[in-house]
Structure 1
């Protein structure tokens, strides 16, 4: 079920599935994306969990919360949204791309709220990022580019996310154009991109600080990557292993930036094994 909640004056879009009594599983999407990026996992993981996916504040079809968009603010907005759902138990948190960094920031800021981390092609482990995202951080260039997203440019963006172009569907392209047309989309996207990176790549200070904070509050962790990721290269997986040597890791062959979609069954099988080892028996 998809619905909207009013959280700190903003309409925030959420999807829930599964028995509310089951252990809570929170799913977080990447920059410029939406909760739809986790739809295949609702279908596969709701049997054992209360599955919650969220349009991050200002992204997808959610409204931004007051103030400048920051990583800490996104994590705080997610926590407030979960509170609004009445969920107070420690969360199993999965984050893709930017969502991985938000998940880590949630753990750093509120350790008691996070039971496990699953990081999927996550931001935070290296400098390298797609040129298109680096260009958006350049003052004067980002806003005009984001305001010119039509079906053709949306198709190119979607194409960069998947190794198998069968996943670049007309529905995904149409939805991307709809999201890009929202009045606050460009501002939210650019503020996020410019906080995290520059033309030279993803900034080191926030990455190093965040990884240190997460290491200070170790949690069971699963880190996965798509071998053919064009956004955040699979070489970052080695840095993730070094940062969190206790984590389980997996590399999906012939897979792009979103293994949870492109390898939905295999991703769900891997996740179930991990989550079942760290969830209370029902």
Structure 2
């Protein structure tokens, strides 16, 4: 198994990890807002047995530098595509996105459909207005700016415990890593900028969701939708809208699971994802 490394992507220092046979079908793992590739760590070993497994820290998050442009969903998707280019991966990839990463995956399909072999949308953004107060606070004029000025370990504890239905998953190691990510220079500003672009104090903005839903219907791909029933970031009833946008999708509601099934129930997650990928390759 490989370790994370840094590469230059369009002049930006970008953190990536690549595992598996370079000739195997490629799979791309895209994390959510304010997060990092470590959200996929429990999946690397199984995926790499059959796939060239690519994970990255999205521009402006984790330990990757942000783009020079203002952050939009299209800019984030282009940053992901540029990373694939730099890695020499020109084949269509199976894109697996969690939370904001699911919206980025859909935007990549909308903007560069030739690059996407299939979609796996895991507790994905883009299907409803409701979102945790912890993210809505970032869009509030005074409170949002104050909260990003100096990240605290307590905020990392709170967010990790909100993400997972099973609080035992919010280990000291995960909390320490979340605090380290949040403390990176510029990450707080990128987090707030993204929140302001996509949301308001009342919730997720509707226009970009409508535009994205209309765009992805033009180029359908095999699609897997998973959602944890106990998601406290993006509520599980958003799965209904996801099924409307992707009527052909394979859908799984995971009882008793929170916002990150790939961490909270890693074996169950892989047992659903891997057969889907086999079918999508046919």
**TM-fit CA distance, 1:175:** 1.2
Hey, what does 2:133 align to over in structure 1? 131
Q: Distance in 1 between matches of 2:195 and 2:98?
A: 16
Q: Secondary structure of 1:175's partner?
A: helix
Q: 1:154 aligns with which of 153, 156, 181?
A: 156
Pairing 1:201-220 to 2, within 5 Å after superposition: 201-220=203-222
In the alignment, the residues of structure 1 paired with residue 230 and residue 149 of structure 2 have an alpha-carbon distance, to the nearest angstrom, of: 28
Total equivalences in the alignment: 280
Q: Does 1:54 align with 2:52?
A: no
Instruction: Give 1:139 shift.
Output: 1.9
Deviations 1:15-70 (A, max 9, x none): 11111110000000000000000111111211110000110001001111212111
8 Å Cα contact 2:148-2:189 kept in structure 1: no
Is the Cα contact below 8 Å between 1:9 and 1:65 reproduced in 2? no
Q: How far did 1:123 drift?
A: 0.2
The superposition leaves residues 225-267 of structure 1 with CA deviations (integer Å, 9 ceiling, x where unpaired) of 0000000000000111111110000011110000011110011
What CA deviation, in whole Å up to 9, does each residue of 1:186-212 have, x standing for no partner? 111011101100011100000000011
Equivalent in the alignment of 2:38: 36
Distance in 2 between residues matched to 1:63 and 1:149, nearest whole Å? 18
- Partners of 1:151 and 1:186 lie apart in 2 by 14
Q: Is the 8 A contact 1:147 1:180 kept in 2?
A: no
* Structure 2 alignment gaps of length 5 or more: none
Partner of 2:142: 140
Give unpaired runs (5+ residues) of structure 1: none
Distance in 1 between residues matched to 2:230 and 2:133, nearest whole Å:
16
Distance in 2, Cα, partners of 1:150 & 1:187 = 15
Kindly indicate whether the alpha-carbon contact (under 8 Å) linking 1:137 and 1:194 is maintained by their aligned counterparts in 2. Answer: yes
Shift of 1:169: 0.9
Deviation of the 1:140 alpha carbon:
2.4
Q: For residue 143 of structure 1, report the CA deviation from its aligned partner.
A: 2.3
**Paired residue for 2:81?**
79
Check conservation: 1:143, 1:186, Cα contact below 8 A.
no
Measured after TM superposition, the shift of residue 278 of structure 1 is 1.6
Partner-residue secondary structure (3-state), 2:141: coil
Distance (Å, rounded) in 2 between the aligned partners of 1:154 and 1:248: 33
| 1:115 maps to 2:117 | yes
Of stretches 95-104 and 168-177 in structure 1, the one that deviates more from structure 2 is 168-177
Q: Is the 8 A contact 2:163 2:231 kept in 1?
A: yes
Deviation at 1:147, TM superposition (A): 2.9
Mapped pair 1:279 → 2:266 = no
Scaled by the length of structure 1, the TM-score of the pair is 0.97
The aligned runs of 1:147-186 (5 Å cut-off) are: 147-186=149-188
Question: Over aligned residues, Cα RMSD in angstroms?
Answer: 0.9
Q: Distance in 2 between matches of 1:202 and 1:159?
A: 22
